[in-house]
Amino acid sequence: MEGMNHMKKGLLLVPFMTGKGGTETVIKNLFTAYNQSANRHDYQLRIYSIGGSNDYAWAQPVEKVTIKRISNYRLGRTLYYLTCLPGYLLRVIKRERPDFIISTNPVMWFLAYRIVHLLKLKTRVIAWYHYSLQRKPVRPLFLHAADDYLAISDAISEELVRAGIAREHVYTIYNPITTDQTVVQRPLAGPARFIYLGRLDLDGQKNLRDLISACRLLRGEWRLDLYGDETNAQAVKDFVREQHLEPQISFRRFVANPWQQIKQASALVLCSNFEGYPMVLAEAMSHGVFCIASDIDGSNELVTPSNGSLYKLHDYQDLAAKMQAVIDAPQKMPAQKQIQTTVEKLLPQEYLHRFNQAIASILKEKDGVK
C-alpha cells in the first residue's frame, strides 16, 4: 500500500466460531491470499480468537493468532463477555497499541472503540459485520461505535448508509472464494442432480422447507444431496419422510471441503430467508455450477441469468418450476465456463486488492493524509 512509511499493525478480533461458517471461510481465504501475494504488504494482521473454536482449520494460513479459550458452553462464554471481556481487551490494546482494529462482532468493536478513546490512541476501529442489518439488527449504540466499516455486499453497504453511517466511511469489499476452480461436471445421463450445502434448518435461516416442498412437485428423474451437519437435522429428516421423498433425497455429512467430493451437479439450490453475502453460491459458480436461489439481498447480487435463476421466497411452486426447467432442458443452461466468469471479481487476489485499498484509505485518514 502506497503512502505508508513503516509496517502498520492491525488486530482482528473475533468471537467464538464453530469453524464451519462462512466468516471462517472468508478469513481463511483472506490470509491465504495475503500469504501468496507477490506484493509487499505494509501491515501485519494478528487475530485474537476470543472464545476459541470447535475447529481451527480456518486459522491454518494465519501466521499470528492468539487463542483465548473460555468455555465449551454458550452460557459460560456469555458470562465471560459480560464480565471479563472489557478488561481483557483493555490489556490487549494497551500492550499492542495497533494502528487499526477490525472486528466481526458488535460488542467487541464497541468495547475496542471505547478503549481506544479512553487511552487517547489514534487507532482506527473498523466494523466488519457479516450479516444483513435488517435480519440481524445491531443496536445503534454499538453500530455507530466504529470509525470505518467493511461491507460484504452492496445491500449491506446501503443498509449502513441508511442507518446513518457516512458513505465515505463504508468500503464494499465483498467476500473471497477459493482458488480451486475445477469444473464440476453436469450429469450427461441419468437423473438430474441437485445439491444443497449448509446448515440443515427446516424453518430457520436456511429454510429447507421450501426446497423439500418444491421437490414434492418435481417430475422425471432427479436426486438431491444435502451436505451439512446433521446434529440438529431431525426436523428436516422427519419432513423428508412425511413427503415420501427418502428415495430421492440423501443426507451427506458435513465435510470441510465438499467440492472435493462432489463429482457431478446439475444445480445448487439455496432457499435462505436471509443472507449477508452467500459464499456457497459464489463457490458453486466458481466451479461452473448453475445456482437457483431465493430472491433476497446478497443472493440477488450474485445470481444473474448468466449463472442461475431466482425464485420468490416461500413460493415453493416457483422454486419447483425453476428446478423442473433444469430437469427438462439442461441444454438451455449457461455454459459452465460462462458461469465461472461471473465471479472472477471474487478471486482471492482481486479480493485482497480491495481489502488492501480499504485499509490504505483508512490509515491515510488516521495519519492525516488527504
CA distance 83 to 155: 35
pLDDT digits 0-9 by tens, 213-242: 999 999 999 999 999 988 789 999 999 999
Looking at residue 22, its pLDDT comes to 79
> Environment class of residue 2 by beta-carbon count within 10 Å: exposed (0-12), middle (13-18) or buried (19+)?
exposed
> CA torsion angle for 355, 360, 362, 364 (degrees, to 10)?
180
Distance of CA 267 to the CA centre of its chain: 20
CB 300 within 8 A of CB 198: no
Looking at residue 369, its pLDDT comes to 62
Give the pLDDT mean for 187-192: 94
Residue 168 pLDDT more than 90?
A: yes
Listed in order, the ranges of the chain carrying CATH 3.40.50.2000 are: 8-176+347-366, 192-345
pLDDT band at 4 (very low <50, low <70, confident <90, very high): very low
Min mean pLDDT across 38-52, 117-131, 186-200 is at 38-52
Residue 3 pLDDT more than 70?
A: no
Class of the CATH-defined domain 192-345:
alpha beta
Distance of CA 142 to the CA centre of its chain: 21
Which CATH architecture is the domain 8-176+347-366 placed in? 3-Layer(aba) Sandwich (3.40)
Looking at residue 40, its pLDDT comes to 67
Using DSSP's 3-state secondary structure scheme, residue 280 falls into helix
pLDDT band at 179 (very low <50, low <70, confident <90, very high): low
pLDDT digits 0-9 by tens, 133-152: 988 899 999 999 999 999 99
